[in-house]
Structure 1
Amino acid sequence: MTKANKTPLTYRDAGVDIDAGEALVDRIKPLAAKTMREGVMAGIGGFGALFEVPKRYHEPVLVSGTDGVGTKLRLAFEWQRHDTVGIDLVAMSVNDILVQGAEPLFFLDYFACGKLSVDVAASVVGGIASGCEQAGCALIGGETAEMPGMYPDGEYDLAGFAVGAVEKASIIDGKSITKGDVVLGLASSGAHSNGYSLLRKVLARTNSKPEHEFDGQILGDVVMAPTRIYVKPLLAALARFGGAIKGLAHITGGGLLDNVPRILQPGLQAHIESSSWRMPALFEWLRQEGEIDKQEMYRVFNCGIGMVLVVAADTASAVSQMLSDAGETVYTLGEIRGCDAGTSQTVVL
């Protein structure tokens, strides 16, 4: 080993800028402060974040979830749209724990890059804070990792972690779902964060650009619309109707066909009429330009339905009205029927 070059090295020489990391923390702190809520004991800045489960819970069960944003990030890089993917990150985890009846309590993020851009990272975290505000949970911690050589310039990765609580007696597990229950759907805000590998294939095939006009809007706005967060209206509905809401399914990867059966017992089928809602223009365009089979569409994309509820028939109308009053677009999609013993499935006709 040679010792000819004795110039002192710094971490910055190796590609890591500690000062940039500290500048980012300073930018993040006021964003996180807006998300504070009951239970937060210590948040951003410590080695670990402290959170006390609110005392209004009698038998709290913690529910956790983790997710990312998937290849939607590739469009964020290429189109320089970083302000909404943080909302997607929060939504994918909080909507997941919501389906078991959990109130999201706090959220942590992991942001990894090759070279830290404080402006880009702050834009992403600004979206995360916005998502946490929408979900009513606190952004109490996270990690920013600058790792030279691990990621190309201008790229980063995201992961998110949500923890919520539900009363043990109020856990939603779908076990009470029975034949004759009504299937309701809440409208999505777009493709959310699923199917973007196929979506990007269609964009490439059609040579589509973010500035192109699409259905009276800018294509970039349509494609990058953040995932809808259903937490507050659904928690209110659960508080009012309790066990009448028997099952919830977040329509993510796997679409309507694979997600709804996850809450059904063997021998039950969700029978959904495709005529009960209009597939938004984005999905019709993807289907036509990609020549994608309809059943493939229902398995890859949410096709305009971001959350599915299974509700007792005698309460379905009231639940639908309450959610509509809260600003949700609600569709009566179909009903629960019987099917072959040992299987559960969704059928879209």
Structure 2
Amino acid sequence: MSYEESGVVGLEGLSSFERFLVWIKKSLKGHPEVKTEIGLYATVVKIAPKLAIALSTDGVGTKLLVAELIGKYDTVGIDCVAMNVNDIICVGAKPIAMLDYIAVQDVSKEFMEDLGKGLYAGAKEAGISIPGGELAQLREMIKGIKEGYGFDLVGCAVGVMEPNKLIVGEGIKEGDLVIGLGSSGLHSNGYTLARRVLLSKWKVDDY
């Protein structure tokens, strides 16, 4: 099974997004303090001669559906923090804070506390704070596997760095050392395909 077969749009289907980017990129003109191109893991903006901030936003994706299936929600809070701070680190910045955006079908459901626990655990491990965020109840828009339990979880992280220490992959040359780090699992990537492949053969509680 391919990503396209699982419902993920391939590169040939991104022409509408490219037209969207045309307008977004116009906002960069006349703003030389933006030090990175659109498309990197994080965007770096110089705010003082020796200070820049790195910004990143990311969500947990369809792993949230797995959380619904097994009734375990704290881990996706950790995932949300990890996805964002990892992107901040990629450009050489130190993550310091993250805001969350939570859209829910029903704000009264008990999983909200578990989400909070997970976000706190992720923030503690990453050494950041979560000083604010947004909660939206969107009954007509948000649907999940279980009635009333649909939700989406997104974060927007900020980090700080010296502008001259930006890492974007420039200057790579033959002889440079490449360091690979082993992954502990899928984290929050590729779950649309993974769910389709695995759940077509097994139930979520099969071991």
TM-score (norm 1): 0.43
Structure 2 residue 63 is matched with structure 1 residue 68: no
Matches within 5 A, 1:152-231: 152=143, 153-210=148-205, 212-213=206-207
Structure 2 residue aligned with 1:99, among 74, 90, 93?
90
Q: Return the alpha-carbon distance in structure 2 between the equivalents of residues 129 and 110 of structure 1.
A: 14
Q: Return the alpha-carbon distance in structure 2 between the equivalents of residues 174 and 200 of structure 1.
A: 33
CA contact (8 A) 2:81 2:122 kept: yes
Shift of 1:206: 1.4
Structure 2 residue 143 is matched with structure 1 residue 123: no
Q: What SS does the corresponding residue of 2:193 show, helix, strand or coil?
A: helix
Q: Which runs of 5+ in 1 are unaligned?
A: 1-56, 214-349
CA contact (8 A) 2:94 2:161 kept: yes
Q: What SS does the corresponding residue of 2:153 show, helix, strand or coil?
A: strand
Return the letter of the residue paired with 1:195: G
Residue 80 of structure 1 corresponds to which residue in structure 2? 71
Return the letter of the residue paired with 1:181: D
Return the letter of the residue paired with 2:141: M
Shift of 1:102: 0.5
What RMSD in Å do the two structures reach over aligned CA positions? Answer: 1.6
Shift of 1:58: 7.1
Residue 301 of structure 1 corresponds to which residue in structure 2? none
- Determine which structure has more spread, i.e. the larger CA radius of gyration: 1
State the Cα deviation string for residues 186-225 of structure 1 (Å, max 9, x = none): 1212111111111111222212333x33xxxxxxxxxxxx
Shift of 1:141: 0.3
> Greater RCO between the two (CA within 8 Å, min separation 6)?
2
Q: What SS does the corresponding residue of 1:187 show, helix, strand or coil?
A: coil
Q: What SS does the corresponding residue of 2:158 show, helix, strand or coil?
A: strand
Residue 323 of structure 1 corresponds to which residue in structure 2? none
Flag the structure with higher strand content: 1
Return the letter of the residue paired with 1:95: N
State the Cα deviation string for residues 6-60 of structure 1 (Å, max 9, x = none): xxxxxxxxxxxxxxxxxxxxxxxxxxxxxxxxxxxxxxxxxxxxxxxxxxx9711
Q: What SS does the corresponding residue of 1:138 show, helix, strand or coil?
A: coil
Q: What SS does the corresponding residue of 2:181 show, helix, strand or coil?
A: strand
Q: Return the alpha-carbon distance in structure 1 between the equivalents of residues 204 and 80 of structure 2.
A: 24
Q: What SS does the corresponding residue of 1:95 show, helix, strand or coil?
A: helix
Q: Return the alpha-carbon distance in structure 2 between the equivalents of residues 209 and 76 of structure 1.
A: 10
TM-score (norm 2): 0.71
Residue 137 of structure 1 corresponds to which residue in structure 2? 128
Residue 102 of structure 2 corresponds to which residue in structure 1? 111
Q: Which runs of 5+ in 2 are unaligned?
A: 1-47
Q: What SS does the corresponding residue of 2:171 show, helix, strand or coil?
A: coil
CA contact (8 A) 2:109 2:149 kept: no
**Inter-CA distance 182–208: structure 2 relative to 1 (3 Å threshold):** farther
**Inter-CA distance 58–134: structure 2 relative to 1 (3 Å threshold):** farther
Q: What SS does the corresponding residue of 2:180 show, helix, strand or coil?
A: strand
Q: What SS does the corresponding residue of 1:185 show, helix, strand or coil?
A: coil
Percent identical: 42
Aligned length: 156
Q: What SS does the corresponding residue of 1:61 show, helix, strand or coil?
A: strand
Q: What SS does the corresponding residue of 2:204 show, helix, strand or coil?
A: coil
Return the letter of the residue paired with 1:89: C
State the Cα deviation string for residues 43-98 of structure 1 (Å, max 9, x = none): xxxxxxxxxxxxxx971100000000111111111111101001111111110010
